[in-house]
Amino acid sequence: MSRRSLSRIAGQVGTAAAVLLLLVWSLGPVFWALVTSLTPPADLLSRELRLWPANPSLEHYAKLFGATSSSQGNAVQSVWPQFSAAFVNSLVTSLASTVITVALAAFGAYAFVRLRFPGRELLFVLVVATLAIPAYTVMIPLYRLMISLKLIDTYVGVTLIYVSAFLPLALWLMRSVYQAMPISLEEAAWLDGAGRTYTLMRIVLPLAAPGLIASAILTFLSAWGQFMVPLVFSPTLATKPLTVLIPEFVTRNYVDYGLMNAAGILAIVPPVLLVLFLNRFLVSGLMAGATK
Amino acid sequence: MNRRTLLASITALPLLLGLPAFAQDQAKPHDGKAISVLLPPWGTLPKEMTDRFTSETGISLDTQTLGWDDIRTKIVTSMVAGTAPANVTEVDWSWVGQFGSAEWYTLLDDKVDAALIADLPTAAIFKFDGKLMAVPYNNDFRILIFNRDHLDRAKITEAPKTPDELLAAAKAIKAAGIAEYPIGLPLSATEGSATAWYLLTKAFGGDLFDAEFKPLFTTPDSAGYKAMSFEIEALKAGLVDPAATGLKDVEIQELFKSGKISFDVAGWAGNLAVYSDKAKSQVAEHAEAGLMPHVGPKSRTFGLPGAVGIPVSAADPEAGLAFVDWLLKPENQMASYAALGNLPTRTSVLEKLNAEGKLASGDVLLQQAALVEPLFAQGTPGWYPEFSSAVASTLNQAAKGQISVDDAVKQIAEAAIAAQAQ
Amino acid sequence: MVAAAEPLQKISMRGSRRRNEEAWLGLAFVIPIIAIMGGLVFLPVVGTLLDSLYRIDPMRAGTPFVGLGNYAATFADANVRQAWFNTLVYVVIAVALQAVGGLGAALLLNKIQRGRRWLLAVLVLPWCLPPVVNALVWLWIYNPSYGLLNGVLQALGLIDTNRVWFNDRTTALFLIALVHVWRMLPLTAIILLAALQSIPKELYEAARLDGAGPIRAFRSITLPLISGGIAIALSQSTVFAFNLFDEAWILAGTSLDTRTVIIQVYMSAFQNLKFSFGMALSVLAMIASLLVSLVYVLKVYRETRYE
């Protein structure tokens, strides 16, 4: 065996080990949440370590989906209507803010890289600097503002706040993507008489697909996980998302670990599906770039 | 004034004049109105109750549920921004000083039936400067809850009556191998740990502050000092789970339900119903309440009730008041106990429940209920939350062995003085 | 040279009409951004900055102007100092682990051909758990009596008895930082992956023909070309670590050992109702995280420029 193939095998083993490490790191805690969600309440407090529950039970999921539910052990109304409403709210606000953020970032970042206009650098620095603002800093003035605009507890209000929170990162990411792109293609199009906007839509954006999709993934996941903003700006089930609903299962007199974990496992599903779906484009976007 | 509000204010007159019986016979005075109420999960009334509210008053109800900590964030944000978080909101006993001095809640003295107030001993806790700012609907006070089976097996016939007896009983149970850590006490840096210390301070026959809010717990012969030593000694002696430094009160309750501990020292009165329910507890047949152990002549405990109040900025306070009145009706107090485990605040309702045999350990509960006092005789001060979080984090440090009890009480006293100074 | 400021010069040769048109188009593209960021971020920040100069305390009458009094008060407070120290520890641990782990994960994903789609989904999974649920899952893992961590370490024979992890301050800080890293690592990895994917393959081909090994190719091609991505990734991990709240709050409450600046802000403003004090502290937190991020941005840009 030659040295070359030896090092190749070593490389493959190393890659396999790295993949394994990544799998354990990412999946381990989620797997444990799954196990917890499937363990009957009584077995949760056993000192024995079990990697899979002895008597798996869908009890906690039944509490979420069932016709009746329990709160502090009492049979109360099913939480399913609340859960499903919150699920839809999370989807709507996250998707809307993703679409708007990515669109604004796609055009805005292009302007920051390729178009010269007064105040360009200053504006970019200011916008990116807002990344460092903690939510609590702006909460009260923002609340006053949203009240006066009558946007409290509306999809529009929550979505706008999400956009303002996640736009800086998306913008910054897209700017670095455009900067790394060779300008020669655009120049060729301009020489052919194509307009700026046409060039951007037809030539630049398809090439920037991986960056756009990465921005979309980032924005969607950030919006999906938001807690502070909807806590204050989404008081009712009209717009309240899962992240605010789920902690209500932990009440002052009761922590239902099983129920929490079950709700968490369900909350993972849409973002993962979205990532799987988007990733196809992330890869194909890359292929387009390679085969040009 | 448009016709509808004119009509509403005319029909609301009898209510304001304190003639609710008359008002009920009338056409519903608030028919067609809508109000929002902001309550914690245990105040989320079942649909059957909210439907009944709507059919009785004609007001449609929009219930907003938030976690308990989050409700405060929500109230503070909207009140500072000058709007109302909802028509009616939860008011916790510990917020009274803050919200009272901020004048955020409508004073209710002449708006609520005097007979109702007389039936609510805990209403005193919701007075700020002698004026009522919220009406208690959820009774909570601390009581000793123990596992009778553990005591029997350790040949202990009576529930401990003093802190020393409690320690002795715990040692006997541990020695007999019945429970590894018989005493359940939260020692994490959370509010539940602080309230357990306040309770034990009362148990040792003292108070936290004198009438001028000067700390009374810094000398070794003071009740507060003894109470903290008791907790730390019990921890060191292996009677309290070493993991308690990370446990909240709710987690202690889970331990009790699973039979891992013998005493829930700072037990919640309302929890007896949960502990004695087979569906929720593995020790349902053995859970019993005892009067809080005490050093002085009588058992002492303090109340931590939850109330409903009407923010000053809320629209249509009369409709909000209609909800408050309705929630406090005997049948609704009973329904709220049955559905959500909220122990009724009206003495008459508690007695009725006990007479009907619906109250677990009812006799002891009623006996202890008569002994409930507020934590602060002068009313909960505005600096309470700041003081209390200092207590929780300092107690937690002492339990982790980072500082001595002596240092801890001094540190707490300093924090109390600093909190008052600002 | 990667940055693309130069090409504009060529265009500017075509006269002022063209340039005017360009400026208008640029403004049109950024006007929605100006509107949203100006209205929903800058306006409120200015409001908070002004508020922090007054004494705003709903429990006390009047709102006198106190200048920088609130800022001075935050420096005098021992709890605040402790919170600053804890926050710095979190920032150091989080940024270091995320940079190394995130770059590793991004390189791995960039290299792998088969199953990349699935591996990417696995990678972002931690970020899909709502933060509160995430913290609770870890609370359960770290549980001294029934937790997975004690169970696994005992099964491996690394410890004999159950440990109460949060009794030791250093361990507590590290474990909380670890939960944060677990959740935020995907963000770093995705940013770096996007940067890696924009590197043209031909560059590596050329380097190989020049006889450069993988390490030299990494140093002379990969690192400089993803320097922008690294600056973004490091800054965002700094900013998020500065804003750490949920993990420390759920895992250890108000414990002084682990309290962060933002928890202190929350406690001051919303729990103790010392509004302007809390606002002043939040402004300081914002300035601090800005300054630290700026250091990376400058350093990363400078170091990679000379390659």
Q: Label each residue of B8-71 as H, E or C.
A: HHHHHHHHHCCCHHHHHHCCCCCCCCEEEEEECHHHCCCHHHHHHHHHHHCCEEEEEECCHHHH
Task: Say yes or no: A135 and A173 in one domain.
Answer: yes
Residue count of chain A: 292
What is the rounded average pLDDT for all residues in chain B?
A: 88
A33/C137 CB distance under 8 A: yes
Q: Which chains form contacts with chain A, at 3 or more CB pairs under 8 Å?
A: B, C
Task: Say yes or no: A109 and A36 in one domain.
Answer: no
Distant-in-sequence, close-in-space partners of C19: CB < 8 Å, separation ≥ 6? A116, C11, C12
Closest by CA to A285, choosing from A218, A217, A212, is A212
Q: Which residues constitute the domain of residue A144?
A: 80-290
- For residue A72, the model assigns a pLDDT of 46
Per-residue tokens: B345: 């605040």
Task: Say yes or no: A15 and A140 in one domain.
Answer: no
Task: Say yes or no: A108 and A17 in one domain.
Answer: no
Chain B contact present for C259, CB below 8 A? yes
Closest-approach residue (CA) in chain C for A104? C33
Q: Which of B77, B89, B251, B274 to mutate to test the interface with A (most CBs of A within 10 A)?
A: B77
Neighbours of A238 (CB within 10 A): 12
Average of per-residue pLDDT across A33-49? 77
- For residue B21, the model assigns a pLDDT of 44
Chain C contact present for B401, CB below 8 A? yes
Q: What percent of chain B has pLDDT over 90?
A: 59
Closest by CA to B289, choosing from B410, B155, B145, is B145
Residue A68 lies in a domain: no
Over residues B121-146, the pLDDT tens digits come to 899 899 998 999 999 999 889 999 99
Average of per-residue pLDDT across A46-65? 76
- For residue B27, the model assigns a pLDDT of 59
- How far is residue B365's CA from residue C228's CA, in Å, rounded to a whole number? 67
Q: Which chains form contacts with chain C, at 3 or more CB pairs under 8 Å?
A: A, B
Distant-in-sequence, close-in-space partners of B317: CB < 8 Å, separation ≥ 6? B87, B106, B310
- How far is residue A272's CA from residue A224's CA, in Å, rounded to a whole number? 11
Chain A contact present for B82, CB below 8 A? yes
Q: How many CA atoms lie within 13 A of C48 on its CB side?
A: 28
Alpha carbon of residue B37 to chain centroid: 20
Per-residue tokens: C102: 């995130």
Select the highest-mean-pLDDT range: A62-76, A138-152, B382-396.
B382-396
Residue count of chain C: 307
- How far is residue C108's CA from residue C100's CA, in Å, rounded to a whole number? 12
C272/B383 CB distance under 8 A: yes
Dihedral sign (CA A114, A116, A117, A122): positive
Alpha carbon of residue C30 to chain centroid: 25
Q: For strand B301-302 and strand B60-65, is the pairing parallel, antiparallel, or unpaired?
A: unpaired
Assigned CATH for B32-140+304-368: 3.40.190.10
A203 DSSP 8-state letter? I
Residue C162 lies in a domain: yes
- In sequence order, the β-bridge partners of residue B267 are B143
- Classified as helix, coil or strand, B106 is coil
> Over 80: is that where the pLDDT of B109 sits?
yes
- How far is residue C137's CA from residue A260's CA, in Å, rounded to a whole number? 9
- How far is residue C180's CA from residue C134's CA, in Å, rounded to a whole number? 9
B248/C267 CB distance under 8 A: no
- For residue A77, the model assigns a pLDDT of 52
Closest-approach residue (CA) in chain C for B97? C59
Helix axes B330-340, B47-57, angle to 10 degrees: 160
Q: Which residues of A touch B (CB under 8 A)?
A: 42, 45, 71-74, 76-77, 139-140, 143-144, 147, 231-232, 235-236, 244, 247-255
Residue C72 lies in a domain: no
Looking at the domain B142-302+383-421, which fold is it? D-Maltodextrin-Binding Protein; domain 2 (3.40.190)
Q: What is the CATH number of the domain that holds A261?
A: 1.10.3720.10
Chain B contact present for C163, CB below 8 A? no
Chain B contact present for C138, CB below 8 A? no
- Max alpha carbon distance in chain C (Å)? 79
Please, are residues A249 and A259 in contact by the beta-carbon 8 Å criterion?
A: yes
Which contiguous run of DSSP H or E holds residue B132? strand B131-132
Q: How deeply is C34 buried, as exposed, middle or buried, from its count of CB atoms within 10 A (0-12, 13-18, 19+)?
A: middle
- For residue B413, the model assigns a pLDDT of 96
> Over 50: is that where the pLDDT of B256 sits?
yes
Considering A11, A26, A57, which residue would you say is the last residue of a domain?
A57
Per-residue pLDDT of chain C (307 residues; tens, 9 = 90+): 334 444 444 444 556 777 788 888 889 999 999 999 999 999 999 999 998 999 988 888 888 898 899 999 999 988 999 999 999 999 999 999 999 999 999 999 888 877 887 888 888 888 888 787 788 889 888 988 778 888 888 888 888 888 888 888 899 999 999 999 999 999 899 889 888 887 777 888 888 888 888 888 888 888 888 888 888 899 889 989 998 988 898 888 888 889 999 999 988 888 888 888 999 999 999 999 889 888 887 877 666 554 3
- For residue A2, the model assigns a pLDDT of 67
Chain B contact present for C20, CB below 8 A? no
Distant-in-sequence, close-in-space partners of A45: CB < 8 Å, separation ≥ 6? B254, B255, B258, B260, C146
Please, are residues A168 and C240 in contact by the beta-carbon 8 Å criterion?
A: no
DSSP string, chain C: -----THHHHHHTT-HHHHHHHHHHHHHHHHHHHHHHIIIIIHHHHHHHHHTTB---TTSS---B-TTHHHHHHHH-HHHHHHHHHHHHHHHHHHHHHHHHHHHHHHHHHH--TTHHHHHHHHHHHHHS-HHHHHHHHHHHH-TTT-HHHHHHHHTTS-SS---GGGSHHHHHHHHHHHHHHHHHHHHHHHHHHHHHTS-HHHHHHHHHTT--HHHHIIIIIHHHTHHHHHHHHHHHHHHHHT--HHHHHHHTT-TTT--HHHHHHIIIIIS--HHHHHHHHHHHHHHHHHHHHHHHHHHHHHHHT-
A176/C4 CB distance under 8 A: no
Residue C45 lies in a domain: no
- Strands (E) in A62-189, as ranges, are 68-71, 74-77
Distant-in-sequence, close-in-space partners of C158: CB < 8 Å, separation ≥ 6? none
- How far is residue B218's CA from residue B224's CA, in Å, rounded to a whole number? 7
Over residues B29-80, the pLDDT tens digits come to 888 889 999 998 778 787 788 889 999 999 998 888 777 778 888 898 888 8
User: Tokens 């938001």 sit at which residue?
Assistant: A226
A253/B271 CB distance under 8 A: yes
Q: Where are the domains of chain B?
A: 32-140+304-368, 142-302+383-421
A21-36 burial code (b ≥16 CB/10 A, e <16) = ebeebbeebbebbbbb
Banded pLDDT at A255 (limits 50, 70, 90) = low
Distant-in-sequence, close-in-space partners of B147: CB < 8 Å, separation ≥ 6? B256, B259, B261, B262, B263, B283, B286, B287, B288
- For residue C306, the model assigns a pLDDT of 42
- Classified as helix, coil or strand, B216 is coil
Neighbours of C152 (CB within 10 A): 15
B138 DSSP 8-state letter? E
- How far is residue C139's CA from residue A32's CA, in Å, rounded to a whole number? 12
Is the pLDDT higher at C10 or at B171? B171
Q: Which residues constitute the domain of residue C112?
A: 77-305
- Classified as helix, coil or strand, B131 is strand
A252 contacts on B by Cβ (under 8 Å): 40-42, 68, 250
Overall number of domains in chain A: 2
> Over 70: is that where the pLDDT of A282 sits?
no
Residue A27 lies in a domain: yes
Residue C52 lies in a domain: no
Of C58, C145, C256, Cβ closest to residue B102: C58
Q: What is the CATH number of the domain that holds C260?
A: 1.10.3720.10
> Over 90: is that where the pLDDT of A190 sits?
no
Residue C60 lies in a domain: no
Over residues A108-120, the pLDDT tens digits come to 999 998 888 888 8
Considering A15, A42, A57, which residue would you say is the last residue of a domain?
A57
- Classified as helix, coil or strand, B136 is strand
Closest-approach residue (CA) in chain A for C131? A225
Select the highest-mean-pLDDT range: A8-22, B59-73, B98-112, B335-349.
B98-112
C32/A104 CB distance under 8 A: yes
Distant-in-sequence, close-in-space partners of B295: CB < 8 Å, separation ≥ 6? B162, B163, B203, B204, B205, B223
Please, are residues B127 and B76 in contact by the beta-carbon 8 Å criterion?
A: no
- How far is residue A59's CA from residue A44's CA, in Å, rounded to a whole number? 13
Q: Phi-psi region for residue A150, left (φ > 0), alpha (ψ -120 to 50) or beta?
A: left
Dihedral sign (CA B71, B73, B76, B81): negative
Alpha carbon of residue A55 to chain centroid: 34
Q: What is the dihedral of CA C15, C18, C23, C26, to 10 degrees?
A: -140
Is the pLDDT higher at A282 or at C254? C254
Chain B contact present for C183, CB below 8 A? no
- How far is residue C243's CA from residue C260's CA, in Å, rounded to a whole number? 8
Side chain identity at residue C129, one-letter code:
L
C256 contacts on B by Cβ (under 8 Å): 189, 393, 396-397
Residue A69 lies in a domain: no
- For residue B312, the model assigns a pLDDT of 95
Banded pLDDT at A238 (limits 50, 70, 90) = confident
Chain C residues 147-206 with CB within 8 Å of chain A: 148, 151-152, 154-155, 182, 186-187, 190-191, 193-195, 197-199, 201
Chain A contact present for B62, CB below 8 A? yes
B80 contacts on C by Cβ (under 8 Å): 56, 58, 275
Query: Matching CATH topology for B32-140+304-368 and B142-302+383-421?
Result: yes
Phi, psi (rounded to 5 degrees) for B301: -155, 170
Task: Say yes or no: A215 and A108 in one domain.
Answer: yes
A202 DSSP 8-state letter? I
